[in-house]
Amino acid sequence: MIPRHCTILAAVAVAVPSLAAAQPKPSGFTMELSLGAGYTGVSPLGRRAVTCAGMSGLNLGLGTFSSSRLAVSLRFTGTTFGRRVGRDDVVFSAVFVGPSAQYWIDDVGFVGAGLGVGMLSADRDDVEPEIGPSLDLRVGTNLVRTRHHALHVAVELTPALLEDRIVTGFGMQLGWQLM
């Protein structure tokens, strides 16, 4: 006998892609906004990594569809987390900024990749931000898509090589895109 929750999950898995399918091909200007939960891993070179839960976003992408399946954009994305440093509560942000490509595999799912600048900063004046090369890797699927809008879920990974550490942001996001 199949448990009831498995039946419900299977029905949703079949229904959601059909809600997002068979839409007109996008063209022209595109914009994305997303927000979600995130983790940030800070790995000092040669030492054990520290992982902190936090927030992913508010993420932004501005660009254009160069074809019906490929969008190129300038992407701003990041994760934020809080930690106690001494007697202070400090908010840290791991950020990616750079050009990104989004390829639609079909009318429902997409993959994305970008190469840009990563930064780790803190909300303290006595801490200098660290800056270095970074990647942006993501995959997502539409929950709902209309002629000009899409609501999607995505996961995003943004590793950055900084001065003496690797900082990796991981986000699970709910997003909206102007098609």
Could you tell me what percent of the chain has a pLDDT over 90?
Answer: 71
Residue range(s) defining the domain that contains residue 154: 4-178
The CATH number assigned to the domain holding 35 equals 2.40.160.20
What's the rounded mean pLDDT across residues 60-68?
Answer: 96
Q: With contact defined as beta carbons under 8 Å apart, do 148 and 17 qualify?
A: no
Q: What does DSSP assign to residue 123?
A: S
Give the residue with greater pLDDT, 143 vs 26. 143
What are the backbone dihedrals phi and psi of residue 55, each rounded to the nearest 5 degrees, phi first?
-120, 150
Q: Which residue has the tokens 């070179």?
A: 45
How would you class 35 by CB atoms within 10 Å of its CB: exposed for 0-12, middle for 13-18, buried for 19 or more? middle
Number of structural domains the chain divides into: 1
pLDDT at 116 over 50: yes
Residue 109, token pair as written in the block: 């799912």
CA–CA separation, 152 and 178 (whole Å): 11
pTM listed for this prediction: 0.82
pLDDT of residue 150: 95
Q: With contact defined as beta carbons under 8 Å apart, do 149 and 142 qualify?
A: no
List pLDDT tens digits, range 87-98: 889 999 999 999
